[in-house]
Structure 1
Amino acid sequence: MKNLLLVAYLDIRESLRSKWFYVYAVVFGGLMGLFFISGITDSVVMGFTGLSRLLLVFIQVTIIILPIFILITTVKSISADRESNILEYMLSFPISLRDYYWGKFLGRFVTVFVPVIFALIIGVAWGALKGAAIPWAMVLLYSALIFSLCIVFLGIAFFISTTVKSHDMALGIAFMTWIILLAFIDVALIGLMMQNRISDGVIITIAMLNPMEAFRIGAIALFDPELTVIGPVAYYLLDSLGHTLLMLYAVLYPIVLGMVFALLGYTLFRRKDLL
């Protein structure tokens, strides 16, 4: 356990020395600043006001930016160490493969999760200073959704990083993964429905297997429990799961999927040629 925490600490220190971390932090912190300057917390859009309006806009940004940032910055975590011979150097110490792998996973989770949550806390604090009512249940559920989104894309990124040896190949696969998942939120599935070759139930099921779609539906359900903005699909989801189970699915499914990918990555990392 001590070695695992040491590897996590070293990974955090390495991330703090990298430019990507500060770009990542500035993106979310800067967006919060822009939201405040533009007066989003004081506006009324489709019935949403104050912090509810701020969270609604923040969610729309998070679903696009967070996955690609996690994938691009994390897929090089192990593959880059392998290419630069840092992995060989680290394994020359009395550190097990388990401690190295999960230490890197824990360290990278801290560096991708903390800036987003910190930006969210700033938003809540600003709203409190402005005298706005704080929707604590909504804030906690959104924090859980961000947690699950970080876990699933960290798991996918570590799986990619252990599967390929080339850093450039890992980046290419990560970018393609993001494009495919993003396309299957709306574009590809709408095309399938228009062609009417697959039943609606099957299409909706496929869509909900996409962790980005699960996050999106869960985020929408925070503000619109009846899911009226997604049209007739809402009736299928609410009749099949109900609001409570739908929220549990949106939070727990990405976590389980991310850990499955992380475990598969660890299995490959332990069995294949490391160098």
Structure 2
Amino acid sequence: MKNLFLISKLDIKESTRSRWFLVYLLVFGGLMALFFITGITDSVVMGFTGLSRLLLVYMQVTIVILPIFILITTVKSISGDRESAILEYMLSFPVSLKEYYWGKMLGRFFIVFVPVFLALILGVIWGVFKGGELPWKMLLVYSAFLFSMCAAFLGIAFFISTIVKSHDVALGASFVVWITLLAFLDIALIGLMLANRWSDEVIISIALLNPLEVFRVGAMSLFDPELTVMGPVAYFLLDNFGHTPFILYAIFYPLFVGFFFAALGYYFFKKRDLL
């Protein structure tokens, strides 16, 4: 256990010195600052005001930017160490494969989640300072959504990083995953529905296997419990899930996806040639 935390600490130090981490901080911190400058918390759009409006906009930004940032910065975690011979050097110490793999993942999770969460907290503090009412429930649930989405894409990234040996191939695979999941938010599913005449229930069920779609619908349900903006789809979701069960699904399903791919990546990491 001690070695696991040492590996995590080492990965955190390496990440904070890299340029991508600075860009990561600037993107989310800068976006939150932009929200302040443009007066998001003072505007009223579709009935959302103050902090609710700020969290709504922040959700729309993170659903697109956060997954690709996690993927492209994490897929090189193990494949990059393998190419640069750092992996061989690290394993020359009394460090087990389990400690190395999960230590790297723990450190990287800290790096990708904390800046996003701090930007969210900063926005809430500013909104309260401007006189807004603090939506405790919405803040806690949305933080849980961010936590689970970070875990989901971190697990996918580590899986990709273990099954490929080239850093370039890992980056290409991460873009393919991201674009595919974005396409299946709406475009690809609508195409399947029109081309194959699939039933609405099948299409919606496929959509709910996409962690991005789950995050989006779950976050929307915080602001609009009746999901009126989704039209007839809302009846299917609310009738089959209900509001609170779907919130729980939106939190725990991405966590399951992340753990599944992380465990699968660890399995291949143990079985395959490491160097």
Q: Which TM-score bucket, shorter chain as reference?
A: over 0.9
Q: CA deviation at 1:196?
A: 5.0
1:166, distance to aligned residue in structure 2 (A)? 0.4
Note the alpha carbon deviations across 1:64-88, whole angstroms, 9 max, x for none: 0000000000000000000000000
Distance in 1 separating the partners of 2:250 and 2:118: 22
* Equivalent residue number for residue 104 of structure 1: 104
Q: Which residue does 1:79 correspond to in 2?
A: 79
The equivalent residue for 1:137 is 137
Distance 1:244 1:117 in 2: 23
What is the number of residues matched between the two proteins? Answer: 275
Letter in 1 for 2:267: T
1:42 maps to 42
Equivalent residue, structure 2, for 1:14 = 14
1:172 aligns with 2:161: no
Structure-2 separation of matches of 1:231 and 1:178: 26
Deviations 1:218-258 (A, max 9, x none): 00000000011111011001000100111000000000111
Q: Distance in 2 between matches of 1:65 and 1:221?
A: 21
State percent identity of aligned pairs. 71
SS at match of 2:133: coil
Runs of 4+ with deviation above 4 angstroms: none
Give the deviation of 1:126 after TM superposition. 0.4
Uncovered stretches (5+) of structure 1, i.e. residues with no partner: none
In structure 2, list runs of 5 or more residues that go unmatched: none
Equivalent in the alignment of 2:91 = 91
Q: Secondary structure of 2:131's partner?
A: coil
| Structure 2 letter corresponding to 1:14 | E
Q: Which residue of 1 aligns with 2:195?
A: 195
Q: Amino acid of the residue matched to residue 113 of structure 1? A: F
The 3-state SS of whatever aligns with 2:153 is: helix
- Per the TM alignment, residue 198 of structure 1 is displaced from its structure 2 partner at its CA by 1.1
User: What is the Cα deviation at residue 199 of structure 1?
Assistant: 1.0
Secondary structure, aligned partner of 1:71: helix
**What's the RMSD between the two structures over aligned residues?**
0.6
> What is the DSSP-based 3-state SS (H/G/I as helix, E as strand, rest coil) of the residue aligned with 1:209?
coil
Tell me the secondary structure at the aligned position of residue 273 of structure 1. Answer: coil
Query: C-alpha distance in 1, partners of 2:55/2:190?
Result: 27
